[in-house]
Amino acid sequence: MAKRSISGAEIKSYLDDALRRNETCKGVTVARVYEGEMKSANWDAECEHQLGEPVSPDCQRAFIVLKQVLQQQYDLLIQD
C-alpha cells in the first residue's frame, strides 16, 4: 500500500494534536518538520518545550513512537 503524501503543516498538526493529548508532553510542541533520508520515511520532525525547558525523556520516547506511526502512513509532500 502506497503512503499518502501530505504537507509539512499537516504532519505538524497531527503531531501537535497527539502531543497535546499525552500527559507526559504538556507544553511540548513540534518545532519543525523537515525533509529527511530515513529508510522508512522522507521526513523527520523535532519537538521543543514552549518554555524552553528540556523535553522529558518520557515525552521524547512518546514523540519518537508518534513519528514512527505517522511515518508509516504519510510521506512529506515535496513541492518544487
pLDDT digits (tens, 9 = 90+) for 57-78: 999 999 999 999 999 999 999 8
Q: What is the spatial distance between Cα 43 and Cα 33, in angstroms, rounded to a whole number?
A: 7
pLDDT tens across 19-71, in order? 999 999 999 999 999 998 777 789 999 999 999 999 999 999 999 999 999 99
Cell readout for 24 is: 507526559
Nearest to 33 by CA among 22, 19, 43: 43
Host domain of residue 10 = 4-76
Which amino acid is present at 76?
L
pTM of the predicted structure, to 2 decimals: 0.90
Q: What total of structural domains would you count in the chain?
A: 1
